[in-house]
């Protein structure tokens, strides 16, 4: 274990190249960080802050590393790096506002070059890796440093981040504050490894163990890792052996799982006491240093008092910053709430770009393409137009993906822009978040629908929420594509339809095309969206037929349905692979004199409420068709809306034709679950009785 100062403050190693002013300033920042923690703890006990995670004891790890990081570098913290934040120039008011429970309106990620707190453990690690990779592709000479605790090393995101960083040799420094406890779980219950630093070996990077209570040793270890990363040597894992004297957070009682003897023994290694002894021995100490710290610390209370006197953000803030443009449905929800709570008018106006009318006319030369070919063309056009667009996923390079959607892109754009990733959906989605923060446009492919579940946390916790959590300070222009649904007789987990999980999530846009023309225009629009878009491609339609697709660049409006077949007797609403089933049923009924209108939603979030309501007002009947399980699906959402807003237009009950509330069957009996035109015909006829 690297050590420069022993617990008594005596030199046992070479002093790093720091001048006297730097040494004194390091102590001041450490002491200021401790004062921040103590005062914040007191303020929380007074009921003026929410739950607070103190970092007392870890100041040396934070300040030693902070001094080794350049101003151009980016930091990805967890949630107790308070001394580090002060060292990077973040005002106490910004830090305290977060723990006061107020929106992160002043936390400018780009100004401080520091990401916001990360609450799901370890999920920030792949972000740091992706950001470093995007910066390198853009020719920026910056590194990313990511902070986490010993408990985070048990998370799958730790593995994915380390593996991607080691493979890509990203300029990333992983700094683990091993304080011995993950709340009540001792580190011996986290790993069988003798040292957490030993884990680095399996990922092809150096692992360094350092005395985390020794600010000079942490500085030396971090500086070496930073220099290595900046010179192209790749990532490093630093394990700083440290301790937190206080609880995990103010809701925790550490006396339940550790004894006073242990705490007392670590108190003897106090990083501030140790470093003060060193400064005294070097003739650099002055009591004015502590006086200055006390004076600065007094301003923490003033900062909170200022926050407490601010006007509460208007209620409209609850629905702003979720998307770059407020969807009509969200604006309507808020307006209804205001009306029901006293009639106050809503100050939230929807952006009409969410519904720009019917599709623009498509002109120019065309080719007879399948949906797969149209998607490939869209990816090429996007990558031609945007040099920061990157395709990434499993087998997307030489093989062109399982369904050959990315075929030929590797030869055209090279391995830096068409990245064959490790087989790890968590890592793919997580690094995509970091790449987007770093200025790239990640075009992600998840190999199959059932494989998206491991990436759920990154998609829902981070992709969907980043704009909201940063008050629009960060946009994540990410497209996550995957082949969706059944119909091709694959093995289990290769025929799922998980769209309902994501439709439920604020901050995501969910698109499912049903034709080659739509697939190309909607994928182009998705790639140009400032918000993350999940683009689900019905695998049964990839090569189901050809149609004339414009070969030039065009976009289709996200959020706008299309009437596939006009009709007057009954409205059939569906999407994706079920569109052709509904059309087949409509044609069968046409022979019997029943005129069905078939609406293809195309976008499930935001879905085109107006198109459906207008159609139901004309036909008086509604049948909904979806392939996924019936309960809590998209059909239920549309049915509930029509029941709420157009009940008196209906002449018959709303009917749903949907998949069973059961997993998709094995491919040998897939036909037992597939929705047939006959099932749709029968439902339509029921509404006409």
Query: Active-site residues: which are they?
Result: 494
Instruction: Give the bridge partners for 366, in sequence order.
Output: 550
Q: Reduced to 3 states, what is the DSSP secondary structure of residue 467?
A: helix
For 301, residues 6+ apart whose C-beta sits below 8 A from its C-beta are 39, 43
Rounded Cα gap, residues 12 and 569, in angstroms: 88
Q: Specify the 3-state DSSP secondary structure of 188.
A: helix
CA neighbours within 13 Å on the CB side: how many for 15?
13
Residue 224: count of CB within 10 angstroms of its CB: 19
Distance between CA atoms of residues 512 and 485, nearest Å: 11
Spatial contact of 469 and 109, defined as CB atoms under 8 Å apart: no
C-beta of residue 253 within 8 angstroms of C-beta of residue 190? no
List, in sequence order, the alpha helices (H) in 462-577.
466-469, 499-503, 516-527
Query: Is cis: bond before 606, omega within 30 of 0?
Result: yes
Q: How many CB atoms lie within 10 A of CB 610?
A: 12
Q: In 77-91, which positions are buried (b, 16+ CB within 10 angstroms) versus exposed (e)?
A: bbbbbbbbbbbbebe
In order, the DSSP letters of 38-107 are HHHHHHHHTTSS------TT-HHHHHHHHTTS-TTSEEE--S--HHHHHHTT--HHHHHHHHTT---TT-
In terms of Cα–Cα distance, which of 687, 636, 306, 341 is closest to 503?
636
Q: Is the separation of the CB atoms in 28 and 295 below 8 Å?
A: no
What distance in Å separates the CA atoms of residue 451 and residue 385, rounded to the nearest whole number? 30
Provide DSSP, 200-258.
Answer: GGGGTS-EEEEETT-HHHHHHHHHHHHHHHHTT---EEEEEE---SS-SSTT--GGGTS
Q: Please tell me the distance from the alpha carbon of residue 131 to that of residue 432, in angstroms, as a whole number.
A: 8
The kind and range of the H/E element at 306 are helix 287-309
The edge-to-edge listing of strands for the beta sheet with 236-241 is 74-76, 144-149, 172-178, 236-241, 207-211
């Amino acid at each position: 274990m690297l050590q420069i100062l022993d617990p008594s403050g005596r030199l046992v190693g070479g002093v790093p190249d720091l001048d006297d002013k730097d040494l004194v300033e390091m102590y001041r920042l450490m002491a200021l960080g401790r004062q921040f923690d103590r005062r914040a703890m007191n303020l929380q006990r007074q009921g003026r802050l929410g739950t607070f995670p103190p970092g007392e004891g870890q100041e040396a790890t934070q300040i030693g590393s902070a001094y080794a990081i350049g101003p151009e570098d980016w930091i990805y913290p967890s949630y107790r790096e308070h001394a580090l934040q002060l060292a990077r120039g973040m005002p106490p008011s910004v830090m305290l506002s977060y723990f006061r429970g107020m929106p992160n309106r002043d936390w400018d990620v780009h100004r401080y070059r520091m990401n916001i707190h990360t609450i799901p453990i370890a999920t920030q690690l792949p972000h740091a890796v992706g950001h470093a990779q995007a910066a390198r592709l853009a020719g920026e000479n910056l590194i990313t440093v990511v902070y986490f605790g010993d408990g985070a090393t048990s998370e799958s995101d730790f593995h994915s981040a380390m593996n991607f960083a080691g493979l890509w040799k990203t300029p990333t420094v992983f700094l683990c504050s091993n304080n011995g406890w993950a709340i009540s779980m001792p580190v011996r219950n986290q790993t069988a490894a003798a040292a957490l630093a030993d884990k680095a070996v399996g990922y092809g990077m150096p692992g360094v163990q350092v005395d985390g209570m020794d600010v000079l040793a942490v500085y030396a270890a971090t500086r070496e890792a930073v220099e290595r990363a900046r010179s192209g040597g790749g990532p490093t894992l630093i394990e700083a052996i440290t301790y937190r004297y206080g609880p995990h957070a103010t809701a925790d009682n550490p006396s339940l799982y550790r004894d006073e003897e242990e705490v007392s023994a670590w108190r003897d290694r106090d990083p501030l006491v140790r470093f003060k002894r060193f400064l005294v021995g070097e003739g650099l100490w002055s009591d004015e240093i502590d006086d200055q710290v006390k004076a600065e610390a007094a301003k923490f209370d003033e900062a909170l008092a200022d926050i407490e006197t601010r006007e509460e953000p208007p209620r409209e803030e609850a629905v702003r910053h979720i998307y770059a443009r407020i969807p009509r449905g969200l604006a309507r929800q808020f307006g209804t709430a205001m009306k029901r709570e006293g009639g106050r008018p809503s100050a939230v106006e929807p952006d009409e770009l969410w519904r720009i009318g019917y599709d623009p006319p498509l002109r120019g030369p065309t080719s007879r393409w399948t949906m797969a070919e149209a998607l490939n063309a869209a990816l090429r056009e996007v990558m031609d137009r945007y040099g920061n667009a990157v395709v990434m996923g499993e087998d997307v390079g030489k093989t062109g993906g399982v369904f050959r959607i990315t075929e030929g892109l590797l030869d055209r754009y090279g391995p830096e822009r068409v990245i064959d990733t490790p087989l790890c959906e968590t890592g793919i989605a997580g690094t995509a978040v970091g790449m987007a923060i770093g200025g790239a446009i990640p075009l992600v492919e998840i190999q199959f629908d059932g494989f998206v579940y491991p990436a759920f946390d990154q998609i829902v916790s981070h992709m969907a929420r980043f704009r909201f959590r940063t008050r629009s300070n960060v946009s994540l222009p990410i497209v996550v594509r995957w082949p969706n649904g059944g119909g091709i007789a694959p093995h289990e987990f290769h025929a799922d339809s998980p769209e309902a999980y994501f439709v439920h999530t604020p901050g995501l846009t969910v698109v499912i095309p049903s034709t080659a023309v739509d697939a190309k225009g909607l994928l182009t629009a998705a790639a140009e969206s400032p918000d993350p878009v999940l683009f689900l491609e019905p695998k049964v339609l990839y090569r189901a037929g050809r149609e004339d697709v414009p070969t030039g660049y065009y976009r289709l409006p996200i959020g706008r349905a299309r009437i596939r077949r006009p009709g007057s007797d009954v409205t059939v609403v569906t999407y994706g692979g079920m569109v052709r089933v509904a059309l087949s049923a409509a044609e069968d009924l046409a022979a019997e004199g029943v005129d069905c209108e078939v609406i293809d939603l195309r976008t499930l979030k935001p879905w085109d409420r107006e198109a459906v309501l207008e159609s139901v007002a004309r036909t008086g009947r509604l049948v909904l068709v979806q392939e996924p399980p019936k309960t809590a699906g998209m059909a239920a959402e549309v049915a509930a809306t029509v029941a709420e807003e157009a009940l008196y237009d209906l002449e018959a009950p709303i009917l749903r034709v949907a998949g069973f509330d059961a997993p998709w069957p094995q491919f040998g009996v897939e036909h037992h679950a597939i929705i047939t035109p006959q099932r749709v015909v029968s439902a339509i006829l029921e509404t006409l009785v």
